[in-house]
Amino acid sequence: MKSKNYDDKWLYQTPITHRGLFDENFPENTAPAFEKAIELGYGIEMDVQMTIDNVLVVYHDNNLKRVCGVDRDIRELTYEEVKSLRPMGKEYPILTFREFLDLVDGRTPILVEVKHQKRSGIEKLVVEELKNYKGKFAVQSFNPQIVYRMTKLAPKFIAGVLVTREPSKLAPWIINALIHRFAFKFYIKFNFLSLRVQDIPVSYKRTGRYKVIAWTVKTEEDIKIADKYADNIIFEKDVPTLSKFGEKKF
């Protein structure tokens, strides 16, 4: 598939907001949080899930309880059920992926995290939505198989693997392979690693093999680590300013 998205320099030049610039008034992954990020000139990291009837929606958790107060798995609901929900009880709905792309419309770069699913097919749907998108974007996932399938469908897409040492995410041997041995590079054609900022080892950056995006940068200590070892950051509001990531406008 031919793509204009082959140049990934932008991915390491624009600090990226975590699920938009959300706060107590503007919930994560909703339109006003995304608009605030665009207004201040930052990129947007966001999350894509798939409903039981194969509609892509912008939401992070599998379970709806934390954000929407409903103890159900979003992957087991129809879109008709999902569209009536309101994150944090505010008036802003859960967006479809298409609505999100139409909202951003190329005004800022986007980093699309594709969530692990119980059923197959999300990769094809994401690729279909993005292949004609005119803005700058990259895709990533904690699931290496998802990254593999997306890059097989769309070899020109800029793709990354999310990595954390948290046991709930990936098995330790996978973490060690990705961070230290780079075994998956020969299986998955990814461009960058998204590493939890607390997990960034000094020896890793010295290899110079991969670009590193540090997440989620929230504290002064986090940004000191990122400023020293990472090529870009995924951050939340009120992050203090350090040199190479630009002045925060809060």
Q: What is the CATH number of the domain that holds 92?
A: 3.20.20.190
Evaluate whether residue 249 is within a structural domain: no
* Cα 147–Cα 152–Cα 154 angle in degrees, nearest 5: 90
Evaluate whether residue 52 is within a structural domain: yes
Identify the three-state secondary structure at position 140: strand
Q: DSSP character for 239?
A: P
Evaluate whether residue 221 is within a structural domain: yes
Give the residue, 205 or 124, on which the prediction is more confident: 124
Evaluate whether residue 1 is within a structural domain: no
- The model's pLDDT over 29-76, given as tens digits with 9 standing for 90+, comes to 999 999 999 998 899 999 999 999 999 999 999 999 999 999 999 999
Burial-class residue 161 by CB neighbours within 10 Å (0-12, 13-18, 19+): buried
Residue 219's pLDDT is 86
pTM, two decimals, is 0.90
Evaluate whether residue 155 is within a structural domain: yes
Residue 204's pLDDT is 58
* Residues 179 and 147: beta-carbon distance below 8 Å: no
Identify the three-state secondary structure at position 67: helix
Evaluate whether residue 248 is within a structural domain: no
Evaluate whether residue 132 is within a structural domain: yes
- Mean pLDDT over 93-100 rounds to 98
Evaluate whether residue 247 is within a structural domain: no
Residue 179's pLDDT is 52
Residue 2's pLDDT is 41
Confidence label for 199 from pLDDT (cuts 50, 70 and 90): confident
Quote the domain boundaries for residue 174: 9-241
Number of domains in the chain: 1
Residue 7's pLDDT is 79
